[in-house]
Amino acid sequence: MGRLILIDVVSAGVLLVLWYFLFLHYNRKKGALALKRVEAACFHEAHIAETRWFGVSRLQAKIGFAAHWFENARVTVKLRPRPIPLKWLLSLWNKQRETLTFEADLGYAPGFHLDVFRHRWLSRQHSKFAPGSPQWTVSRPGPVVLTTRTHWAHELTPVVNTLITSRGHNLLSVRFRSESPHLAATIPLEALSDDQAAIGFLSVVRELAAGASTHQQ
């Protein structure tokens, strides 16, 4: 009996080790692919200068940009902790998303602090009325801005206009600070599905940076 228990314990240990290294390789490959797409989106105007893994699920890389782009730029990729089964299950339970965050300093430090969080509300209709019945009134409003500011500073207008009119609808959050890093933008990793998506993301980030610096120029 004790021998069977020992065999079960050893087998479970071997499976855990195989699980760990298999999904560690998967995370490393997925993180490297995300960085490759970001670098390709820069049209040879930037290169990955340094990469570093923090644990099994967070990859950070410094990016060297050509002049007139960004300073002290870095990208952080946050993945699910797949190599550690319990943490992975907890991340699934908490519905944690895999994300990519771009941070950088601008040529001019913004004179304001701004945190933008983008949300979508989807409603499933539960009613005795059929969708085509005359009791339904369907409207499609444009973007709605909910703000905690009591006074709207004029330098915020270019930034907010960029968020509303650009194709950066996949952005989860945008942050501006007067201290370093001046700009941080986060996108779901699944939205960075190909090189074109990465190009769109970098384009929106550049437009946001330009909008924040407009009043300084």
Q: Judge if the upstream peptide bond of residue 181 is cis by omega within 30 degrees of 0.
A: yes
Work out the mean pLDDT of the chain and round it to a whole number.
81
Scored b (16 or more CB within 10 A) or e, 30-52 reads: bbeebbebbbebbeeebebeeee
Quick one: which of 106, 121, 102, 117 has its CA closest to 192?
A: 102
- Coil, helix or strand at residue 103: strand
* Single-letter residue type at 188: P
Helix, strand, coil share of the chain (percent; to 5) = 40, 20, 40
Quick one: which of 105, 72, 114 has its CA closest to 182?
A: 105
- Band of residue 171 on the pLDDT scale cut at 50, 70, 90: confident
Q: Rounded to whole angstroms, how far apart are CA atoms 201 and 208?
A: 11
Q: Tell me how far apart the terminal alpha carbons of the chain are, to the nearest angstrom.
A: 79
Residue 178 confidence (pLDDT):
86
- Coil, helix or strand at residue 22: helix
The DSSP result for 127-191, as a single string, is -SS-TTSTT--------------SS--GGGHHHHHHHHHSS-TT--EEEE-SSSS-EEEEEEGGG
User: Taking residues 105-131, what's their average pLDDT?
Assistant: 68
Residue 25 confidence (pLDDT):
95
Is pLDDT above 80 for 59? Answer: yes
How many secondary structure helices (H) and strands (E) does the chain include? 4, 7
Quick one: which of 185, 216, 212, 214 has its CA closest to 201?
A: 185
Q: What's the burial of 82, exposed, middle or buried (CB within 10 Å: 0-12/13-18/19+)?
A: buried
- Band of residue 79 on the pLDDT scale cut at 50, 70, 90: very high
The structure's pTM equals 0.80
